[in-house]
Amino acid sequence: MRKALLKLFKKEYFFAFLILINASIFAQEEASTQAKEFTINYQNVSVLEYIQFVSKVCEVNFLYSAEDLNFNISVVSSDPISRQSVIATLIQILRTNNLHLIENNNSLVISKIEDVKEIAPLVSKDVKDIKNPIITRIFSIKNTSVETLVTIIKGMISTDAIIEALPESRQIIASDVTTSIQKITTLIESIDSTESPLEIKTYSIQANSAITLIALTKQIISPLIGGSPYLLIPQESTSTIYIVSTPMLANKTLAVLKSLDVEPKDEIKTLENQQIFIYQPVYRTLSDLRNALKEIAANLKKEGMPHPGLINAIDNMKLIHDTNSFVFSASEPTLAKLQKVIAGLDTPTDKEKNLLPTFFLYKLQFVSGEQIEENLEKLLKKFKTQKIQDQKLLEVIENAKWVKETNSILLTGNPIAIEEVKNIIAQYDTIRQSKQKGNFFIYSPKHASLDDLDKYLKDVAHNLKSSGLSDPDLIDTIESMRSVTSINSIIFTGGDVTLEKIKSLLSSYDVSKEGQFKGNFLMLTPTHVTLKDLEKAFKDIASNLKSSGLADQPLLESIYSLRAVPTTNSLIFTGDEQTLAKIQSLFNSVNAPTSKQAVQLLGKTNFWVYEIRQARPQHLVSSIKSITSDLSKIDSDKYLLEALKSMRYVKETNSLIFTGTPDALEKLEPLVQKFDVPSSKDEAGSSYFVYKPKYLSGPELEIILNEFAENLKTSNLENDPLYESIETMKWSDQTKTLVFTGDLTAIDEIKKLLQNFDIADIDHPKTHEISGLEDLGFLVYKLQYHKGNDIQEALKQIATDLKTANPDAAPNFKLVKGINAVQWIKITNSLLCSGDKETLSKVKELISSLDVPLKQVFIEILIIQTTLSNALSFGLDWGSKFQYKNQAVVGINNFGVPADPTNLNPVSPIFNKITNTVTPKGPDLSLGNGFNLGVIGDILFHKGKSFLSLISLLEALQWDTETSIILTPKIIAQDGKTATIFSGSNIPYTGSVITNTAANTSTTTNLEYRDIGMSLTITPILGNGDAISLTIDLESSATPATETGQVQLGQVTGITTLKTNMSTSVHLANKNFLVLSGMVTDTKTRAKSGIPCLGGLPVIGAAFSKSDDQQSRNNIVIFLRPHLINTYKDMQSITRDQEDIFREQAGTPTLERDFDEAAELIKSYENE
């Protein structure tokens, strides 16, 4: 008994202990549920139990199959953890067990199928309290490489996580559990910082050249570099090498440089290591080759060659003139180096010039450039497959470009390879030679203008290409068309057959419009379609016929002549009898009983389209909704009610769409027709309408509506209420709206007119609404800041990794299907997407996050160029000749040396011609610029047998020139977009002269043009702060002021230009004034000629010498200052400031007034 009680007591104690533990655990979980952090102690429990705990504390729903979760887990936390850590722990446990999660509206689906995915909610880093377990975040990278960051992060996260790079926009998209995304955010912020782990150290060169030291150091340090940054930058002027790298590599580089930078030692010569090398030049002479080797040795000494053996071998070389050879003595390694040097020097000069890279422009004769490019691409592929080793030939073929303007092929590369490619192209350019006879045809239009014929023929060529009915000969002949406005003619070149086709096309188009219409007209009254639909159908037919290349111009003109007469509900056409017969045939096809009244099947859905004829759409829709509400209150046919509730109004076709069973849709037809009756006149009354333009501006819509009303009046259409409503139209600049007043009928007509006029493109209207059949909807997103193809490409990249092999396997993949269905509407720059409302909402949110405005920057460039020149010239030229009785002649002079030593002194020819019979005259004393004092004399003795001639010329000239040029180009650019501005002239020069020598000699001179002026190209990269990175290409060119700028080569006259070019990248802050480039050129020239000794004497030496001193100084400096445009006020402020600057720089009050008057032409719209 005692043992039994003890045993019972132990059991009760044991159960009480279990209850106490269970209560404590429950209390712990309950208390933790109330807090933001939790302490977990689950050991070897079912994962289902842990999921229930997570669902409770994190308020997340889980969808799973119990069969997939048949395992136990243990989760123990010594410290409290947050909700996000709890859910992250569960997700990682499931991933380790090959399970995958999909988030959908705060619910997590647990599945073993890894192909089913869905985009998690997009959450920015500014959101603090994140409740979603899995999120998507977009990171904008400023400094670090996007690809490098993605590579680093992918190695740290699980394979189920999604991370992709967008290099074009420098963005990273990541999708994973919330805690992982937060850690990725911290990691990116730490890596993508402006702090640099590099050091900059300097080394002062002692004995060797910087280039030699850098080359040797890089070879030694290269095994230690790895992927670390490593730069060695020499500065020759200060004999310094700058080291940019990590601290460890910088210290090791300093040590290596110190050990290398020592005085070179001479090579030790012994009988064993000395070899003899005899070389006989092949192409160069002994003297040329010796001078070249001496120059190399001198340069090696200057730069501190570390191995002087080569220098000693060159210095000790011996010349053997008998055998025309060199003899060298040195060690075997030194002779090997010497042989390489000589082999590089002893080459034929002409061949060396010819092998330099050059270019050639191949003018095509028979085949189009597109065909040649295609043939060369095919040939290149064959060469690569056959592993052709001639790399230079492959490079020339690969770099061949078609110059469309001149129908030529530009070849660049090795000259020999260019010659081979020219032969290849010549083979292709003779394929249709037999067809093209080189004939020409001149056509003078009779009725159409040159522009109309040009546009018509180009449309024909384009339609032939696009339709696949390509006629290469006809297309080439059309492209050869040239208009000669002086004789009002067009010239065509091509074969005889092709020219006949051109004549046929021209004769069918160039017809008299007056002769077509000789009083014949046709009035057509529709019976099965509305007048408006009939008019629209004919216009669509004309547009499609024209775009397809139809050459029946009378038919098109007759369609365009149609006039609608609403009073008789008819259309009137004018034209000849044959054309009106075609119009009648088209009318019979359009005016057939419409098939829209029949029930149609789309997939598994039956639908019926009803075209509204008489009632107003709003009244008809309201009436049907009212009858639907009444029928739902009684026991009616539920299929009929469902069909009525499915009603959708389509504005574009003014029709109603119903879906349902075939029987229910058939019952709808008589019901809807009863309500489709015209509204009573009593309902009409005065009203107003306020319209906010979508695409066109208010003033533009005013002009269009007024012109439309005038055209209606001229066509004798009576609609006074509409005219009155248009006349009451007022534009409010404050609210940006148009206000109309009038009766309801006129207001409704105006609304329809505005829908037709206020569109991005009249021929291609578009909608901004989301509508569709049942759960199928459409989204048209009008992009505001970027082109549609850029956004579409970004969306495709996002969807690439989310796309599954079988899209229909999971319903949650609708978003990916919606992204893949996005289409770019180029005309309106919009994106079109289809899907359900939830998918469209997510796509719209994603597009709006990508379509953000680019920052803009206003950039000012200041270029200052000054030139100072002065010269001083002084000298005395004198001479004397004496002849005695025709027996002796004596002469003396000190004529100075002219600037060009090949020319004689200008005084010398005058003096030399004076004899006893030729005496000086007035024209012989030619005086130049500046101060000149000259004397010429001739004295005769002994009856002309003796004479004494004297000449003296004193010249003194000093001149100074100062020139300053200031350029201030200014340009505005967007982030990442290249902006270009050019200001200058297009100067002609003689490009080539062709002379044909035959029975009659003819000479043809071709003029070419070159841009001379200032050209600026800037590409900015703007960050979130005030930092601005700019890539700048600046070029300033001018022609010399004198005639020396022309170059004469035979009959060809060229030009010489002065050019300043700068290409750089810079990083600076907003509104900072920075110098980009500068150059100072100071040139001094001193020349003195005279008699030795005498010319150097003080004072009197001036009589025996001549001196010329010239000095010139050219300075150029370039400054830059950017202005970030963050708001509209910034743009207004910059515009106002620049306007004031240009007004002040006008120069005179008259020019300032002209500037203000010109500016008012634009600003007058703002003042109205």
Higher pLDDT, 401 or 1147: 401
Using a 10 angstrom Cβ sphere, with 0-12 exposed, 13-18 middle and 19 or more buried, the burial of residue 1044 is: exposed
Whether residue 321 is predicted with pLDDT greater than 80 in this model: the reply is: no
Residue 419: count other Cβ atoms within 10 Å of its Cβ.
12
Tell me if residue 276 falls in helix, strand or coil: strand
For residues 1046 and 696, give the distance between their C-alpha atoms in angstroms, rounded to a whole number. Answer: 54
CATH topology of domain 515-593: Ribosomal Protein S8; Chain: A, domain 1 (3.30.1370)
The CATH number of the structural domain formed by 439-510 is 3.30.1370.120
CA angle, residues 1134, 973, 1037, in degrees to nearest 5:
100
Of 531-545, 678-692, 1079-1093, least confident by mean pLDDT is 678-692
Q: In angstroms, what is the C-alpha Rg of the chain? A: 46
Tokens coding 1073: 């004034």
Structural element, H or E, at residue 1139: helix 1128-1144
For residues 1121 and 1073, give the distance between their C-alpha atoms in angstroms, rounded to a whole number. Answer: 5
Query: Per-residue pLDDT averaged across 371-381, rounded?
Result: 82
In SS3 terms, 921-982 reads as: CHHHCCCCCCEEEEEEEEEEECCCCEEEEEEEEEEEEEEEEEEEEEECCEEEEECCCCEEEE
Query: Per-residue pLDDT averaged across 912-928, rounded?
Result: 65
CATH topology of domain 777-853: Ribosomal Protein S8; Chain: A, domain 1 (3.30.1370)
DSSP state of 122: B
Q: Do 1015 and 1038 touch, CB atoms closer than 8 A? A: no
Q: Do 772 and 779 touch, CB atoms closer than 8 A? A: no
Evaluated on CA atoms 555, 556, 557, 560, the torsion sign reads positive
For residues 639 and 387, give the distance between their C-alpha atoms in angstroms, rounded to a whole number. Answer: 72
DSSP state of 526: -
Most confident of the ranges 80-89, 253-262, 434-443, 1156-1165: 253-262
CA angle, residues 1122, 1127, 1130, in degrees to nearest 5:
50
Higher pLDDT, 269 or 1011: 1011
From residue 429, alpha-carbon distances to 398, 895, 1058 in Å are 18, 66, 41
In SS3 terms, 822-873 reads as: CEEECCCCEEEEEECHHHHHHHHHHHHHHCCCCCEEEEEEEEEEEEEEEEEE
Whether residue 468 is predicted with pLDDT greater than 70 in this model: the reply is: no
| pLDDT, the chain, mean | 74
Q: Do 575 and 523 touch, CB atoms closer than 8 A? A: no
Q: Do 930 and 873 touch, CB atoms closer than 8 A? A: yes
Query: Per-residue pLDDT averaged across 160-165, rounded?
Result: 82
Backbone angles phi, psi at 641, to 5 degrees: -65, -40
Higher pLDDT, 387 or 658: 658
Query: Per-residue pLDDT averaged across 650-679, rounded?
Result: 78
Whether pTM > 0.85 for this model: the answer is no
In angstroms, how far is CA 1016 from the centroid of its own chain?
16
- The model's confidence at residue 1077, banded by pLDDT at 50, 70 and 90, is confident
Report domain 119-195's class: alpha beta
Q: What is the DSSP string of 145-186?
A: -HHHHHHHHHTTS-TTSEEEEETTTTEEEEEEEHHHHHHHHH
Report domain 686-758's class: alpha beta
Query: Per-residue pLDDT averaged across 132-159, rounded?
Result: 80
Tokens coding 672: 């809807």
Beta pairing partners, 737: 732
The edge-to-edge listing of strands for the beta sheet with 686-691 is 686-691, 737-743, 730-732
Q: Do 1029 and 1122 touch, CB atoms closer than 8 A? A: no
Evaluated on CA atoms 894, 899, 902, 908, the torsion sign reads negative
Query: Per-residue pLDDT averaged across 619-634, rounded?
Result: 77
Q: Which pLDDT score, from 0 to 100, does residue 932 have?
A: 65
- The model's confidence at residue 681, banded by pLDDT at 50, 70 and 90, is very low
From residue 622, alpha-carbon distances to 612, 629, 640 in Å are 14, 11, 17
Residue bearing tokens 């003396």: 892
Directed axis angle between helix 450-467 and helix 472-479, to 10°? 150
Stated length of the chain: 1168
Backbone angles phi, psi at 1025, to 5 degrees: -95, -145
Query: Per-residue pLDDT averaged across 968-991, rounded?
Result: 84
Whether residue 357 is predicted with pLDDT greater than 60 in this model: the reply is: yes
Report domain 199-260's class: alpha beta
The architecture CATH gives domain 275-345: 2-Layer Sandwich (3.30)
Q: Which pLDDT score, from 0 to 100, does residue 303 have?
A: 63
For residues 17 and 26, give the distance between their C-alpha atoms in angstroms, rounded to a whole number. Answer: 14
- In the chain, what percentage of residues exceed pLDDT 90? 0
Q: Which pLDDT score, from 0 to 100, does residue 1019 have?
A: 92
Using a 10 angstrom Cβ sphere, with 0-12 exposed, 13-18 middle and 19 or more buried, the burial of residue 50 is: buried
- In the chain, what percentage of residues exceed pLDDT 70? 75
For residues 277 and 991, give the distance between their C-alpha atoms in angstroms, rounded to a whole number. Answer: 52
DSSP state of 268: P
HSE toward the beta carbon, residue 323, CA cutoff 13 A: 9
DSSP state of 1040: -
Q: Which pLDDT score, from 0 to 100, does residue 11 have?
A: 43
Tokens coding 180: 């992982």
Q: What is the DSSP string of 211-244?
A: HHHHHHHHHHHHHHHTTS-EEEEEEGGGTEEEEE
Query: In the chain, what is the greatest distance between 2 CA atoms, to the nearest angstrom?
Result: 184
Using a 10 angstrom Cβ sphere, with 0-12 exposed, 13-18 middle and 19 or more buried, the burial of residue 153 is: buried
For residues 1068 and 600, give the distance between their C-alpha atoms in angstroms, rounded to a whole number. Answer: 66
Extents of the domains making up the chain: 119-195, 199-260, 275-345, 354-428, 439-510, 515-593, 601-675, 686-758, 777-853, 880-954, 960-1163
Whether residue 35 is predicted with pLDDT greater than 70 in this model: the reply is: no
Domain 601-675 has CATH 3.30.300.30: no
When the candidates are 1.10.10, 3.40.50, 3.60.21, 3.30.1370, the CATH number that belongs to 354-428 is 3.30.1370
The amino acid at residue 961 is T
- The model's confidence at residue 941, banded by pLDDT at 50, 70 and 90, is low
Whether residue 1103 is predicted with pLDDT greater than 50 in this model: the reply is: yes
Q: Which pLDDT score, from 0 to 100, does residue 183 have?
A: 82
Q: Which residues contact 591 (CB under 8 A, 6 or more apart)?
A: 524, 526, 527, 528, 529, 534
The domains spanning 275-345 and 601-675 adopt the same CATH topology: yes
Whether residue 1141 is predicted with pLDDT greater than 80 in this model: the reply is: yes
Residue (of 752, 612, 744) closest to 675 by Cα position: 612
Query: Per-residue pLDDT averaged across 522-535, rounded?
Result: 77
